[in-house]
Amino acid sequence: MAFLNDLAKRGERFAPGHRLCPGCGQSIIVRALLNITDYEIVIANATGCLEVCSGLFPYTSWCVPWIHSAFENAASTIAGAEAMYRVWKRKGRTDKDIKFVALASDGGTYDIGLQALSGAMERWHDFLYLCIDNQAYENTGVQRSSASPFGANTTTTPVGKVKRGKEQRRKDIMSIVEGHHIPYAAQASLHNWRDLMNKIKRALDTKGPTYINVLQPCCTGWGFPPDMTVEVARIAVETCAWPIYEVVDGKVKINYKPKKKLPVEEWFKMQRRFAHMLKPENKDLLGRAQELVDEHWEWLLKREAAGL
């Protein structure tokens, strides 16, 4: 209760009046980021839904220093700001404790921003990279990204007589960033706000590059009612389609294990993009999707049990 009272007393650093869609969870994630810490924060925001809807000149919802970067280089932008800050600290030009955060969606992270992210992590800049993962290029027309799940119906993987949605499994971005041997990486969901905020705080308090991947269901692109965003995120976790876990110094810790793991079909039922998967003639697709979810979940359980 003391924690909630403290949060309630904090002033907002992300102002209302933005243009995010009704039901969009990105504001939930951003407010969690800005409200959990007292650090001064500088943000580099890649082109995407969040940038377009929160900082359309001459208006802004950002009450912290905010830089709009290109789609592919949020990590490079924040790395430059962090490098300048270190020089200023060394020269005595500032004594402030400032934290640096890059915000991007999956298209700007998994795909066209991957080289900038990898470079900034390899150079060991002190920053948090927070990926708001809505599993497609939603801002430009719901095209598939490498974060899109197997079978997803998108405008570039449409369901028709020949094709039946995306044919590839989604990229394991967590394993990729983990390969840079960073001190902290985590996966979270906006429905579990306490877990999300604790992970953000830990990432900001950790020296060196850190990464958080947050599921952000998109009611527009996924096809569900705007008032169901949080519930869609919750069922993703209950089916283990989106495991909540963290990797601390190379070791996996699963933060939530469903008491009764639901079949992935329960998550698919909530979204128009998977409607074709539930048809009798596509039973093989549903079976394959379940196999991929089970395979990844079992892999995480084995890593945790082995202390890896």
Parallel, antiparallel, or unpaired: how do β-strands 98-105 and 40-46 relate? parallel
Options 3.40.50.970, 1.10.1740.10, 3.50.50.60, 2.40.110.10; CATH of 2-306? 3.40.50.970
> By the 8 A CB rule, do 133 and 215 touch?
yes
Instruction: List the end-to-end C-alpha distance of the chain, in Å, as a whole number.
Output: 35
276 dihedral zone (left: phi>0; alpha: psi -120 to 50; beta): alpha
Give residue 215's pLDDT: 98
Q: What is the pLDDT of residue 166?
A: 98
DSSP 221: I
Q: What's 219's DSSP letter? A: I
- 290 pLDDT exceeds 70? yes
Look at residue 3 in the predicted model and tell me its pLDDT. 63
pLDDT, one tens digit per residue, over 168-185 is 999 999 999 999 999 999
Read off the pLDDT of residues 192-235 as tens digits, 9 standing for 90 and up. Answer: 999 999 999 999 999 999 999 999 999 999 999 999 999 999 99
258-282 pLDDT, tens digit per residue, is 999 999 999 999 999 999 999 999 9
Domains of the chain, residue spans: 2-306
Contact assessment for residue 264 and residue 239, using Cβ atoms and an 8 Å cutoff: yes
Residue 62's DSSP bridge partners are 14
pLDDT tens sequence across 117-169: 999 999 999 999 999 999 999 999 999 999 999 999 999 999 999 999 999 99
For residue 11, what pLDDT is reported?
75
Instruction: Tell me the whole-structure pTM to 2 decimals.
Output: 0.96
CB 129 within 8 A of CB 210: yes
Residue 40 has pLDDT above 60, yes or no: yes
Element (H, E) at 105: strand 98-105
